[in-house]
Amino acid sequence: MQVVTIGNRTDEPPKEETREGNYFVSNYPPFSFWKPERAREAIAALDQTPPADTPLGIYVHIPFCRKRCHFCYFKVYTGMDATQIEAYLDAVRKELALYVERPIIGGRKPRFIYFGGGTPSFLSTKQLGGLVDEMKRLLPWDEAEEVTFECEPGTLTEGKLKMLHEIGVTRLSLGIENFNDELLRANGRAHVSKEIDRAYRFSRAAGFPQINIDLIAGMVGETEENWRETVRRAVELAPDSVTIYQMEVPFNTTISKEMRSHGEEVAPVAGWPVKRAWANYGFSEFEAAGYTVTSAYTAVRDPAKAAFVYRNLLWAGADMIGLGVSSFSHVGGTHYQNEHQYETYTDRLINGELPIFRALTPAPLERFVREFILQMKLGSVSRPYFLGKYGVDMNEQFHFELSAIRDQGFLTFDDQGARLNRQGLLQVDRLLHQFFLPEHRNARYA
Ligand SMILES: C[S@@+](CC[C@H](N)C(=O)[O-])C[C@H]1O[C@@H](n2cnc3c(N)ncnc32)[C@H](O)[C@@H]1O
Ligand code: SF4
């Protein structure tokens, strides 16, 4: 997934109930500062030759799903027919073809590929084959260290999994979320638990180097007892990595629309302290089984084998070209986003244009803040790293904020950097807004 963010405000007391609004911080400066009138900055960035040591990655957004989950805020279409899907894939192929002619590629080959959604596994093997063959022809994957592919368990067949393995997927990510059929149904998921077991068995048999599973702590109807059972079954599967999200109820989801229609302000899910406790329980159980927590959301069985190249490179300033409707890119120091409607996205490609909708080129201090914020989500940040890369002393720049978070008991810092403790890590997204520059606080994020 490419995550869109909004956020709670730091100058307000923490809202401990779950309310409507996005919480997860995925990028900086906030998206509301990216402007259509600055789209030409993206074009200019594509005409530069890249610094030799900047890694390149490709993100591909596949916006199709069997059903829209009640909590989902991603750009998703349900009910599109094969002709519409083929037209979309054709647009994605055209988009990549426009990029490979640009100086910014500079002879680089992608170090990571990420198929996110929506549901990439919604595609048939034929659709997938047509897309991947052309992608590889245009920009070979032979130097890719990681190819991630997001899957909804009910869309997987043995044949599709074999094909995913053959085309070079190294990290298969399964959106399991929960094992309880009643809960899955109540949250609008298309899959049931029987499909999880099947999909997992076939995925293991196909031989992927890394299988990740996603869980959500605090879905509608979740209870302490059921969450413990979900964690028990997840540990039993022995995935190579697990991602535990805490349920948020973003704007424009089915749940938030329901809330509005009933005039309710508090979402029908557990409050943040309970969700944190559940996520903590999940991580502790995985730790007891030998896993290592490597970010606010992730635990891995063997850190040497389950690096998350996409996250690590992106959060350290890599270039990433985002293909597809509403995709986000970060290239040559400029952020931009594609057109966010199917029709406008495909129309612009039919006309031979890059479908760039809005852009922003952050100033050096904003680039520092972005990287600092993203790396905080890994649990620690290095002062020498930021001094060397940006010439900014994080302890001076953020003395007030780091001290405040330390005084709340969530963090320690010294001349080497800052480290969040587990309680701090579990609520890092709420804490991060304090590091925004003043002009970006209290701004709408999306
Ligand atoms: C694009 S989906 C993964 C692939 C596939 N679409 C699926 O759902 O199985 C990315 C993940 O985001 C998480 N997610 C989506 N909406 C969320 C929300 N409102 N709160 C917390 N996590 C959420 C889910 O764990 C989901 O698996
Ligand atoms: S399957 Fe995944 S992308 Fe699709 S609606 Fe559900 S959470 Fe969103």
Q: What is the pLDDT of residue 6?
A: 36
> Is residue 68 in contact with ligand 2, taking CB distance under 6 Å?
yes
pTM of whole model > 0.85? yes
Q: What is the pLDDT of residue 306?
A: 81
- CA 219 to centroid of ligand 2, rounded, Å: 14
Tokens of 382: 């290095």
Q: What is the pLDDT of residue 20?
A: 87
Q: Within a domain: residue 1?
A: no
Q: What is the pLDDT of residue 12?
A: 45
> Is residue 429 in contact with ligand 2, taking CB distance under 6 Å?
no
User: In this structure, which ligand is nearest to the CA of 6?
Assistant: 1
> Which atom in ligand 1 lies closest to the alpha carbon of residue 214?
25
> Is residue 291 in contact with ligand 1, taking CB distance under 6 Å?
no
Residue in 189, 121, 207 with CA at minimum distance from that of residue 160: 121
Q: Mean pLDDT over residues 119-130, rounded?
A: 97
> Is residue 72 in contact with ligand 2, taking CB distance under 6 Å?
yes
Q: Within a domain: residue 420?
A: no
Q: State how many domains the chain has.
A: 1
> Is residue 23 in contact with ligand 1, taking CB distance under 6 Å?
no
Q: Within a domain: residue 416?
A: no
Rounded-to-10 torsion of CA 307, 212, 122, 215: -130
Q: Mean pLDDT over residues 121-134, rounded?
A: 97
Q: Within a domain: residue 280?
A: yes
Q: Is the pLDDT of residue 14 over 80?
A: no
Q: What is the pLDDT of residue 3?
A: 44
CA dist., res. 61 & res. 55, Å (int): 20
> Is residue 119 in contact with ligand 2, taking CB distance under 6 Å?
yes
- Per residue in 18-49, pLDDT (tens digit) is 998 878 888 999 999 999 999 999 999 999 99
- Which residues, 6+ apart, have CB-to-CB distance to 210 below 8 Å? 170, 171, 172, 240, 241, 305, 306
Q: What is the pLDDT of residue 23?
A: 80
- Per residue in 89-122, pLDDT (tens digit) is 999 999 999 999 999 999 999 999 999 999 999 9
Q: What is the pLDDT of residue 315?
A: 86
The whole domain housing 306 covers: 34-313
Single-letter residue type at 20: E
- CA 69 to centroid of ligand 1, rounded, Å: 9
Q: Within a domain: residue 424?
A: no
Q: Is the pLDDT of residue 9 over 60?
A: no
- CA 232 to centroid of ligand 2, rounded, Å: 24
Greater confidence, 251 or 167?
Answer: 167
- Per residue in 140-194, pLDDT (tens digit) is 999 999 999 999 999 999 999 999 999 999 999 999 999 999 999 999 999 999 9
Q: What is the pLDDT of residue 75?
A: 85
- CA 69 to centroid of ligand 2, rounded, Å: 5
> Is residue 119 in contact with ligand 1, taking CB distance under 6 Å?
yes
Q: Within a domain: residue 139?
A: yes
- CA 184 to centroid of ligand 1, rounded, Å: 12
Q: What is the pLDDT of residue 64?
A: 98
Q: Is the pLDDT of residue 11 over 70?
A: no
> Is residue 20 in contact with ligand 1, taking CB distance under 6 Å?
no
Q: Within a domain: residue 179?
A: yes
User: In this structure, which ligand is nearest to the CA of 120?
Assistant: 1
> Which atom in ligand 1 lies closest to the alpha carbon of residue 177?
25
Q: Within a domain: residue 81?
A: yes
Q: What is the pLDDT of residue 446?
A: 66
> Is residue 5 in contact with ligand 1, taking CB distance under 6 Å?
no
Q: Positive or negative CA dihedral for 388, 390, 393, 399? A: negative
Single-letter residue type at 97: A
Q: What is the pLDDT of residue 273?
A: 95
Q: What is the pLDDT of residue 256?
A: 93
- CA 336 to centroid of ligand 1, rounded, Å: 23
CA dist., res. 226 & res. 183, Å (int): 9
Confidence of residue 445 (pLDDT cuts 50, 70, 90): low
- CA 312 to centroid of ligand 1, rounded, Å: 20
Ligand 2, atom 7: closest residue by C-alpha: 72
Look up the CATH number of the domain holding residue 245: 3.80.30.20
